[in-house]
Amino acid sequence: MFVIDRFGTLLFFLLLAFLISGASEAGWPKVVGAGASVAMLVAGFAATGLIGQRLRMGVLILIGLSSAVLVSLDASSVAGAVGAFGQAVVLGAILIAVVRRVLAHDRVGLPTIAGAIAAYVLIGLVFAWIYLALMGVLDGPVLDPEPAGLPAYYSFEVLTTLGFGDITPAHEFVKRVTAIEAMTGQIFLATLVARLVSMYGAPARQE
């Protein structure tokens, strides 16, 4: 059975949220960023089937809304750190659901590719929220220099093993989290590409 999932909308709002995530000033960038984040969550629930699981979706929505409020109050405080961890938990739940749906496909199609890319982007955003949370609980600078908003750029710089340039880890614990993210990105790509190749060749072998 060929499972059809609509990950294109989720991927669009993920990329939009990433592009706007660096906006720390008030005004339309902040409004667009908040709207993109909400749309990203709704698209994630719809694309992964979580929208049909009312209890689980309700818990995730509650965590997402309360954590968003905490982050908006003061992202650099302990409360903001709790909120950032909450955002990471919600995105992590969507990430797991996306990966499970992608692996359930019997052959590769555009939804499969979109889902795989969406999962990769979700990994980067989850770690970005973790870095933001660490900025609120660890003593001293976490990143050098510390970004004003969500450190999504740094997270994807690590995830893609692009290399350190204008932002580097400044705290010992963050250096270890950085290493874990880099390994996660490489393992995810290696295993997912192998899985997609096997899925792509499966129909041809059956025929």
Instruction: Provide the pLDDT confidence category of residue 172 given band limits of 50, 70 and 90.
Output: very high
pLDDT above 90 (res 53) = no
Alpha-carbon distance of 115 to 9, in angstroms, equals: 10
Mean pLDDT over residues 121-146, rounded?
Answer: 91
Average pLDDT on 36-54 reads: 75
- d(C-alpha 119, C-alpha 53), whole Å: 20
What backbone torsions phi and psi does residue 177 show, to the nearest 5 degrees?
-65, -40
Task: With cut-offs at 50, 70 and 90, classify the pLDDT of residue 51.
Answer: low
DSSP H helices, 75-109, are 78-103
Q: Which two tokens stand for residue 52?
A: 């049909």
Question: pTM higher than 0.75 for the full model?
Answer: yes
Long-range contacts of range 185-188, CB-CB < 8 Å, 24 or more positions apart?
185/120, 185/123, 185/124, 185/158, 185/159, 185/160, 185/161, 186/161, 188/119, 188/120, 188/123
- Mean pLDDT confidence for 174-189: 93
More confident residue, 26 or 111: 111
pLDDT band with cut points at 50, 70 and 90 for residue 156: very high
Write down the pLDDT at residue 80.
86
Number of H helices, E strands in the chain: 7, 2
